Structure 1
Amino acid sequence: MELTKNTYRIQGVKLEDVAKNFGTPVYVYDADKIANQIKLLHKAFSGLNVRIKYAAKALTNLSILKLMRREGAGIDVVSIQEAHLGLKAGFQPDDILFTPNCVSFSEIQEAVKLGLRINIDNISILEQFGHEYHDTVPCCIRLNPHIMAGGNAKISTGHVDSKFGISILQKRHLLRIIQTYNIKVNGLHMHTGSDILDSEVFLKGAQIVFDIAHDFEDLEFLDFGSGFKVGYREGDVVTDVVALGKNLESAFQEFCKEYGRDLQVWFEPGKFLVSEAGYFLVRTNVIKTTPATVFAGVDSGLNHFIRPMMYDSYHEMVNISNPKGINRVYTIVGYICETDTLGWDRKLNEVREGDIIAIKNAGAYGFSMASNYNSRLRPAEVMIIDGQAKLIRERETFEDLIRQQVEIDI
C-alpha cells in the first residue's frame, strides 16, 4: 500500500475507490505481494530441492488458491473440505498434503480415496492406517520436536504440551507400529508454530528430524512446516529466510550425504505468503469521547477480524480518507455487543465519521476465521491483480444467513 498524491493505492488502484465500489467492510488482497513472497522463498532456498505447500487454512478463497497454483505452489490442507477446495482450484491430488488433527479415521480414508498425500500426527490413527493399508499407501509422519518457537502460546504447536504431532519421545513405539504393519513412510514433518524469530531454533528442530530420519528407509522428503515471522510494526524483527536458507542448505546437504541420497525439502507457509498482502477496510460509524478515551467505532468487529481479541495481535491501522490530518489518539472498536477492540491507543490522522480505516496484515486468518456472530453478515473479498480490483467473494445477504435454518411450527 503506497501513498501517492494523497491517496493510498495498491498496484495503482485507489483503496478508497475499492471501498466505494464494493462497500465496507471488505477484505482486499494484493496478488503481486503473494507472488513475490513465493519467489522470495524459492530464492532463499534455491540451493535445495524445495517444494512450497501453501497452508490453505490461512486464506481459502478459491481465487487465492488458483493464484498459488499459478505461482507454482502446492497446498497443505487440514480438513477434507479444504482438500475439495484445493481440487476445485485445479490442484492435482499429489500436490495436496493432508495434515488433519484429531479427525475420525473415515476422513483419512476419504483423503486416501481422493489420492492426497497423507500426513499422520497420532499413534491411534497410524495404527488404524497400518491395519487398513499396510504398505499400499505411503504416509508422512508429523513429529512433535518439543520446541517452543516463540509467539503467542495459542499458535505454538511444537512444545511438549501440544496436541499436534507424535512426540519424539515415542520413537520406539512409533517404529514398532511401522514395522508391525509394514507401513511405508515417505516423509517426516515438523512444525513448531508461528513467529519463529531465531533461525537457530528452527535448525535445532531440523536436526532432531535429521537424527530420526535415519530410522526410515523410504523417505522422499522432509517437511519443515513454516512459522516464518512477518512484521506487524515498523522495526519488527522478522525471520531472515535468506540466512535461514543458507544455514539449512549446508545442514541438509550434510544429512543427505549421510542418508545416502538426496531428498526434497518442503515448507508450508501460510501467514508468510498472505498476511502482508491483505488489508481490511472498515468505515467509521461514530466517534465517541469518554472521560478517558476517544473511541472510533467502525462497521465491523471481532466477528470479521478476531485476531486482536483472540491472540492480542497488533495490526497497524491507517486512516486512508484523511492522510494529511493532524495526529490524534484513538481506540478502534467494533460493533459487536461485547468487548470488541481492534486496536488500543492508536495514533492516526484525525478520524471523522465516515472515514475509511485500513487494517494491515489482514490476509492471514482474517476472513478465514470470520463468523456470523451477532447475526452479522460476512464481508466481501477483493483481489487486486494485474492492476485491477476484482471481486472474489460476494458480501453475504440475509438470505445467506438463514439458508440452512429450518423453521418448525411452535
Structure 2
Amino acid sequence: MQLNNRTYQIQGVDVLEIADQFGLPLYVYDADKIIEKIGLLRSSFAGVNLKIKYAAKALTNISILKLMRQQGVEMDSVSVNEARMGMMAGFEPGQIMFTPSGVSFEEIREAVSLGLQLNVDSLPLLEWVGQTYGTQVPISIRINPHISEGGNIKISTGHADSKFGISILQRDQIRAVVEQYQIPVAGLHIHTGSDFKNAGAFLKGAEVLFDLASDYPNLSFIDFGSGFKVAYKEGDHITDVEELGHQVSAAFQNFCKNYGRDLELWFEPGKFLVSESGHLLVKTNIVKENPTRTFVAVDSGLNHLIRPMMYDAYHDIKNISNPSIPGEDTAEKTYNVVGYICETDTFATDRALPEVKPGDVLSFENAGAYGFSMASNYNARFRPAEVLVYEGTPYLIRQRETFEDLVRGQVDLSIFNQQEILNA
C-alpha cells in the first residue's frame, strides 16, 4: 500500500474507496505483492530445481489458492479440508503435500484415497502406514532436527521439545520401520519454525537432511519447509532471501552431486508469500480519553486479528483518513488501539499516530497471513469480508457474514418451548 497524492492506494485504487464499496471491517489483499514474492523466491533459487508449495493455512481463500496455481505454485496442507479447497481451486491431488500433526488414522486414510503426497511426522503413523499400505504409498518423512532458532516460541517447531516431526535421535527406529514394511520414501522434510533472519538455520537443517538422505537411495525431493522473516515495522531485520538462495542452492547442488543425481528442492512458504499483501481495514468507533491513556476503539478485535494478543505480534497501523504526509510535520498523538471484544483486546499500546477521530479508517498492515484464517465468531461477531485487488480492480472474494451464518447448524431444542418457566 502506497501513499499517492495524499491518499493510500493499492495498485492505483484509493483504499478509502475500497472501504466505501465493500464496507468495514474488511480484509484487502494486493495480488501484485503476492506475485512479487513468488518471483523473488524463484529468482533467488534459480540454480536448482525449485518447487514452491504454498502453506495454505496462512490464508486459505479459494481465490488466493487459484492465484497461487495461476503463478505455478503448488500447495502444502495440514488438513484434508484444506486439501479439498485446493482441489476446488484446481490443484491436482499430487500437487498437494499433506503434513498432518497428530490427526486420526481415518483422516490419513482419506488423504491417501484422495492421492495427496503424505508427509509422516510420527513413528506410530509411520508404523500404521507400513502395516496398512506396505509398498503402495510413497511418503516423505518429517524430521525434527533439534534446531532451536527463529522467533516466538509459539511458532518454533524444530526444537527438541516440539510436538512436530520425528526426532533425528530416532533415526535408527525410522529406518527399521521403513525397511520392515519396505515403505517407499520419496522425500525428507523439516520445518523448524518462523522468522529466521539468515541462512544459518536452513543450512543447519540441510546438514541433518543431507546426512539422513544416505539411508534412502530413492529420494526425489528434499523439503526445507519455510520460516522466512518478513518486516512488520520499519527497520525490522528480514531474511535476505537472495543470499539464502545463493548459500542453500550451493549446498544443495553439492549434496546432489554426492547423492548421485539431481533432486527437487521444495519450500513451503506461507507468511512470506501473503503477509505483506494483506491489510485489515477498520473504522474508529470512539476515541476515549482516560486520565492515563487515550484509547482508540475500532469495529474489530482479536476475533478478526488474533496475532497481537496471541503472539505479541506487532502490526503497523496507518490512519488512512488522516495520513502522515512525508516531508510534512504531521501532528501525532499516542494511543492504545483496542478492539470491541469483551476481553483484554489490544492491537497496539502507546502507538504514535496522526490524530484519530471517530469515523476514521485505520489499516493494520501485514495482515495477509494468519489473519482471516485464524478469525472466529467470538462474542457472536461476524467475520469480515475479503477483497483481492488484481490488475487494478478490487474483487470480492468472501462475502461478509450475516446473522443467519452465525446460527446455521445450531439445533433449537423444541423441548424447552414446551416447559413452563421455573420460578426462582
Code of the residue aligned with 1:281 in structure 2: it is L
Task: Tell me how far 1:124 sits from its aligned partner.
Answer: 0.4
Task: Tell me how far 1:135 sits from its aligned partner.
Answer: 1.2
Partner of 1:346: 351
1:76–1:97: 8 Å Cα contact kept in structure 2?
Answer: yes
2:322–2:354: 8 Å Cα contact kept in structure 1?
Answer: yes
Distance across 2 between alignment mates of 1:386 and 1:63: 14
Is 1:363 aligned with 2:358? no
The DSSP-based 3-state class of the residue aligned with 2:233 is coil
Partner of 2:300: 300
Partner of 1:123: 123
User: 1:178-229: CA deviations, max 9, x gaps?
Assistant: 0001100000000001101131122111111100011101100000000000
Task: Tell me how far 1:253 sits from its aligned partner.
Answer: 1.1
The structure with the largest alpha-carbon Rg is 2
Partner of 2:195: 195
Partner of 2:392: 387
Partner of 1:110: 110
User: 1:174-253 maps to which residues of 2 (within 5 A)?
Assistant: 174-253=174-253
Partner of 1:63: 63
Distance across 1 between alignment mates of 2:150 and 2:247: 20
Code of the residue aligned with 1:69 in structure 2: it is R
The DSSP-based 3-state class of the residue aligned with 1:276 is helix
User: 1:2-401 maps to which residues of 2 (within 5 A)?
Assistant: 2-324=2-324, 326-401=331-406
Code of the residue aligned with 1:376 in structure 2: it is R
Q: Give the count of matched residue pairs.
A: 410
The DSSP-based 3-state class of the residue aligned with 2:215 is coil
The DSSP-based 3-state class of the residue aligned with 2:276 is coil
Code of the residue aligned with 2:106 in structure 1: it is S
2:151–2:196: 8 Å Cα contact kept in structure 1?
Answer: yes
2:202–2:248: 8 Å Cα contact kept in structure 1?
Answer: no
Gap runs ≥5 in structure 2: 325-329, 417-424
Gap runs ≥5 in structure 1: none
Code of the residue aligned with 1:342 in structure 2: it is F
The DSSP-based 3-state class of the residue aligned with 2:336 is strand
Distance across 1 between alignment mates of 2:191 and 2:270: 12
Code of the residue aligned with 2:243 in structure 1: it is A
Distance across 2 between alignment mates of 1:388 and 1:290: 42
The DSSP-based 3-state class of the residue aligned with 1:335 is coil
1:149–1:197: 8 Å Cα contact kept in structure 2?
Answer: no
User: 1:262-316: CA deviations, max 9, x gaps?
Assistant: 1000000000000000000000000001111110000000011000000000000
Distance across 2 between alignment mates of 1:99 and 1:149: 21
Distance across 1 between alignment mates of 2:130 and 2:51: 27
The DSSP-based 3-state class of the residue aligned with 1:8 is strand
Partner of 1:406: 411
Code of the residue aligned with 1:159 in structure 2: it is H
TM-score, normalised relative to structure 2: 0.96
Code of the residue aligned with 2:153 in structure 1: it is A
1:119–1:142: 8 Å Cα contact kept in structure 2?
Answer: yes
Task: Tell me how far 1:108 sits from its aligned partner.
Answer: 0.9
CA-atom RMSD in angstroms: 0.7
The DSSP-based 3-state class of the residue aligned with 2:160 is coil
Distance across 1 between alignment mates of 2:46 and 2:349: 41
1:31–1:383: 8 Å Cα contact kept in structure 2?
Answer: yes
Task: Tell me how far 1:149 sits from its aligned partner.
Answer: 2.1
The DSSP-based 3-state class of the residue aligned with 2:189 is strand
User: 1:341-367: CA deviations, max 9, x gaps?
Assistant: 011111111000000000000000000
The DSSP-based 3-state class of the residue aligned with 1:197 is coil
User: 1:345-397: CA deviations, max 9, x gaps?
Assistant: 11111000000000000000000000000000100000000100110000000
Code of the residue aligned with 2:399 in structure 1: it is E
Task: Tell me how far 1:89 sits from its aligned partner.
Answer: 0.2
User: 1:215-270: CA deviations, max 9, x gaps?
Assistant: 10110000000000000110111001110111111111111111111100000000
2:297–2:340: 8 Å Cα contact kept in structure 1?
Answer: yes
Distance across 2 between alignment mates of 1:147 and 1:313: 23
Task: Tell me how far 1:134 sits from its aligned partner.
Answer: 1.0
Partner of 2:327: none
Code of the residue aligned with 1:66 in structure 2: it is K
Distance across 2 between alignment mates of 1:121 and 1:263: 21
Identity between Structure 1 and Structure 2 (%): 59
Distance across 2 between alignment mates of 1:309 and 1:96: 32
Distance across 2 between alignment mates of 1:108 and 1:201: 30
The DSSP-based 3-state class of the residue aligned with 1:332 is strand
2:199–2:248: 8 Å Cα contact kept in structure 1?
Answer: no
1:382–1:392: 8 Å Cα contact kept in structure 2?
Answer: yes
TM-score, normalised relative to structure 1: 0.99
Code of the residue aligned with 1:311 in structure 2: it is Y
User: 1:39-92: CA deviations, max 9, x gaps?
Assistant: 100000001100000000000000000000000100000000001000000001
Code of the residue aligned with 1:398 in structure 2: it is F
Greater mean deviation of Cα atoms: 320-329 or 79-88: 320-329
